[in-house]
């Protein structure tokens, strides 16, 4: 019982910490690529603290305020369904398919809140976000199905267990893994998929009206989001990890490659993004799926 409560408290904090660390590294990393010195490495922490402690917060209504709260609640919920370092937590209460939908809770909450701000930029941002989600969902479900069929289960912890001792899905399902990487990348909204927030077009999109503690919450949520997406990829294709450090390293490796891509790519138009996802990633994922089916 005590252990359960401990896990319940530690797991989200750990996830947050990992996500936050990626945010910190990214700021610095981007700056160095752009030949700048960049802010101090703990700048994101300062940002979040500053935002949370701001005294003047504005709100456009209850739903506007609830949006970030639902977003965080959804993200925390997702954390419990992703096994990490041998801890299975709630994977017995919801499998991979359930997780796909659990992960949507936060985004939908966020969308609700942003919609309530009555700002057209926010609405356009959400329209783009949902469209993009529709776009990457097709290859995503295909690779999820491939993995589930490969290991004859949709239980994430079982999938992780089956990949023990280096039998990673990355080796057995390389095509799926590549697509999985692209999809995770798209889900994080990095270049060229940063259509949602696109500062020069829709003024950061859904977040346009958010400030103060609301924005702080959204930044926290972003940390969770980073963690959840990457951790899921690690669990699915890189065999999870037996301890937290290896897990972190694997996650970091994935994140590092992503940052590289992020810096060199321009931005898609939203319909081009959907077309992109429905073309190559889908075709590759289908090929991989058919290989699994035939095998």
Partner 1 sequence: MNILLEIMLATPFIGGLLAFIGGKVHRWVRFAVAVTFSFLTLIEAFVYYNVTIKGVVWGSLFGSKLILQTNPISWLFLFIVTAMSFLIVIFSIGDMEEDRIKLDSYYMQLLFVEGAMIGIVLAGDLITFFMFWEIMSWTSYFLIIYGGKKSVAAGYKYIIMSIIGAYSMFIAIAMLYVKAHSLVYADVATTLAHSSATFVVWTVVLLGIGFFVKAAIMPLHTWLPDAHSEAPSPVSPLLSGVLIKMGAYGLFIVLYGFLSVQLAGNIMPSVFSTPILLYIIQWLAALSIVLATFLAIMQEDAKRLLAYSSISQIGYVVLGIATGTSLGVAGGLFHALNHAIFKGLLFLAVGAVIYRTGTRNLSDLGGLVKKMPYTFTALLLGIIALAGVPPLNGFVSKWMIYEALLQKKEVFLLIMAFIGSTGAFLYVYRLIHSIFLGQLPKKYENVKDVPILMQVPIWVLAVSTIIFGIFPGLAMNVIVKGMKLFGFKPIAYTLFGFPQGTAMGALKVINISAVLAIAFVAAWVLFLILSKSRKVSQYDNYAAGQVVTPELKYNYSFGFYMSFGRVIKSILKLGIERIYNYWVDAAKIFGDYYMRRVYTGNLETYNSYIVIVVTIAAAAILLGGKLW
Give the footprint of partner 1 on residues 181-240 (CB under 8 A). Answer: 203, 208-209, 212-214, 216-217
Closer to partner 1 by Cβ: residue 80 or 248: 80
Q: Which of 15, 48, 90, 179 binds partner 1 (CB under 8 A)?
A: 90
176 binds partner 1 (CB under 8 A): no
Q: How far is the CB of 246 from partner 1 (least distance, A)?
A: 25
Q: Please answer whether residues 214 and 286 qualify as being in contact, where contact means their C-beta atoms are separated by less than 8 angstroms.
A: no
Closer to partner 1 by Cβ: residue 29 or 121: 121
Closest CA to 82 of 224, 217, 181, 179: 224
Query: Which residues, numbered 261-290, are part of the site for partner 1 (CB under 8 A)?
Result: 269-271, 274-275, 278, 289
Q: Which of 25, 153, 252, 261 binds partner 1 (CB under 8 A)?
A: 153
CA dihedral (54, 58, 63, 64) in degrees, to 10, reads -80
Number of residues forming the site for partner 1 (CB under 8 A): 83
25 binds partner 1 (CB under 8 A): no
Tell me which stretch binds partner 1 (CB under 8 A): 23-31, 53-61, 244-252, 258-266.
53-61
45 binds partner 1 (CB under 8 A): no
SS3 at position 107: helix
Cα distance between residue 45 and residue 11, in whole Å: 19
What are the distances in angstroms from CA 182 to CA 7, 28, 173, 262, 275? Answer: 31, 23, 14, 12, 14
47 binds partner 1 (CB under 8 A): no
Q: Which of 16, 22, 29, 80 binds partner 1 (CB under 8 A)?
A: 80
Beta-carbon contacts of residue 280 (< 8 Å; ≥ 6 apart): none
Q: How far is the CB of 283 from partner 1 (least distance, A)?
A: 13
Q: Which of 25, 42, 45, 112 binds partner 1 (CB under 8 A)?
A: 112
Compute and round to an integer the Cα radius of gyration of the chain. Answer: 19
Q: Which of 59, 150, 176, 184 binds partner 1 (CB under 8 A)?
A: 59
DSSP 206: G
Closer to partner 1 by Cβ: residue 177 or 207: 207
Closest CA to 180 of 285, 293, 43: 285
Angle, vertex CA 133, rays to CA 83 and CA 193, nearest 5: 100
């Amino acid at each position: 019982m005590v252990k359960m409560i401990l896990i319940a408290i530690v797991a989200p904090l750990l996830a947050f910490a990992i996500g936050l660390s990626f945010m910190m590294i990214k700021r610095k990393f981007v700056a160095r690529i752009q030949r700048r010195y960049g802010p101090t490495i703990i700048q994101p922490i300062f940002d979040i603290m500053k935002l949370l402690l701001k005294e003047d917060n504005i709100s456009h209504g209850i739903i506007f305020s609830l949006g970030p709260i639902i977003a965080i609640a959804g993200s925390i919920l997702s954390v419990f369904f992703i096994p990490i370092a041998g801890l299975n937590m709630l994977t017995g209460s919801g499998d991979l398919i359930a997780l796909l939908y659990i992960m949507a809770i936060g985004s939908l909450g966020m969308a609700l809140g942003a919609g309530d701000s009555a700002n057209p930029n926010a609405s356009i941002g959400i329209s783009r976000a949902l469209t993009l989600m529709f776009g990457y969902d097709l290859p995503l479900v295909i690779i999820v199905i491939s993995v589930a069929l490969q290991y004859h289960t949709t239980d994430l912890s079982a999938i992780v267990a089956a990949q023990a001792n280096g039998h990673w899905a990355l080796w057995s399902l390389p095509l799926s893994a590549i697509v999985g990487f692209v999809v995770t990348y798209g889900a994080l909204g990095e270049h060229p998929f940063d259509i949602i927030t696109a500062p020069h077009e829709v003024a950061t999109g859904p977040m346009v009206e958010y400030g103060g503690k609301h924005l702080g919450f959204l930044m926290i949520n972003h940390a969770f989001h980073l963690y959840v997406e990457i951790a899921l990829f690690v669990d699915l294709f890189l065999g999870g990890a037996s301890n937290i450090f290896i897990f972190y390293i694997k996650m970091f490796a994935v994140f590092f490659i992503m940052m590289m891509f992020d810096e060199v790519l321009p931005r898609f138009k939203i319909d081009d993004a959907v077309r992109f996802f429905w073309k190559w990633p889908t075709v590759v994922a289908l090929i991989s799926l058919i290989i699994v089916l035939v095998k």
